[in-house]
Amino acid sequence: MSKVGLPTHEFKPLTQELLNLVWQWRNSPRIQCNMHNNAPVKWQDHLNWFDSLQGDNTRAFYVLWQNNRPIGVLNFSRLNTPTPEWGCYLGETNVWPGSGIILEVAALDFAANFCHSTHGRQTFSHLLAQVLSFNHAANKMHKIFEYAQVGQKPGGIRDGQEFEVLDYSYELRAWQNKRDKILAKLPKNIGLAAQQIQFLE
């Protein structure tokens, strides 16, 4: 626990040791249902994907450690452009309330303050995200954080129902100005925990 009695939140790059755990998370029905591709991921495909990450400066994949326990993931792509894209999920369910919000804050903080040794220095203008229309929790969270919905396109059919892919964008200069105001709308302990987010290499 942190010195204020709140859980610590550290983001560390995915390692070989956690590949199996992340694979299990990704293939759980709870996670699968909100993915663009909801087919199970084969183990060999998962290994090939991890291999492709190595040395790829356009992508970053972090595991969220809460009190030294891995609980979820945060990933970025298009890091070689002014408009990177991000996604996340909580792999574990028995986590500190507000853990999903920590992922949301961390994504914006990372993009707004991006400067790390693996990827070099790149200034970003906007952070992009895509969410399936039936993922109500994620869509609600983006609206609370004041993302702009900038597009909508047909996504297909899932469980007999048509759905859309919603495109979101966040101006990162605006995040730097609005961060404190948005966190002030949330429970105080979440705001305090968000002040202690760390990205580690």
d(CA 86, CA 103): 10
With beta carbons less than 8 A apart as the criterion, state whether 28 and 40 touch.
no
pLDDT attached to residue 116: 45
Half-sphere exposure of 41 (CA within 13 A, CB side): 25
pLDDT digits (tens, 9 = 90+) for 97-145: 999 999 999 999 999 987 543 445 558 999 999 999 999 999 999 999 9
Q: How far is CA 7 from CA 3, 95, 102, 188, in A?
A: 9, 10, 11, 14
**What's at 72, amino acid-wise?**
G
pLDDT attached to residue 115: 53
pLDDT attached to residue 4: 59
CATH code, 9-199:
3.40.630.30
pLDDT attached to residue 35: 87
pLDDT digits (tens, 9 = 90+) for 64-109: 999 999 999 999 999 999 999 999 999 999 999 999 999 999 999 9
Determine the average pLDDT of the residues in 1-13: 81
Nearest CA among 125, 119, 127 for reference residue 88: 127
Q: Across the chain, where does the E strand assignment appear?
A: 9-13, 60-66, 69-77, 85-90, 126-132, 148-158, 161-171, 198-199
Determine the average pLDDT of the residues in 17-26: 98
Name the pTM for this structure.
Answer: 0.91
> Is residue 15 left, alpha or beta, with left meaning phi > 0 and alpha meaning psi from -120 to 50?
beta
Mean pLDDT over each residue of the chain, to the nearest integer: 91
Question: Can you read off the two tokens belonging to residue 159?
Answer: 């469980």
Could you give the percent of the chain with pLDDT greater than 90? Answer: 82
Determine the average pLDDT of the residues in 49-69: 96
The Cβ of residue 181 has, within 10 Å, a number of other Cβ atoms equal to 9
pLDDT attached to residue 120: 52
**62 band by pLDDT with thresholds 50, 70 and 90:** very high
The DSSP call for residue 116 is B
pLDDT attached to residue 50: 97
> Which ranges of 4-98 would DSSP assign to H, the alpha helix?
19-26, 29-32, 43-53
Nearest CA among 145, 155, 134, 60 for reference residue 100: 145
Answer whether residue 1 shows pLDDT above 70.
no
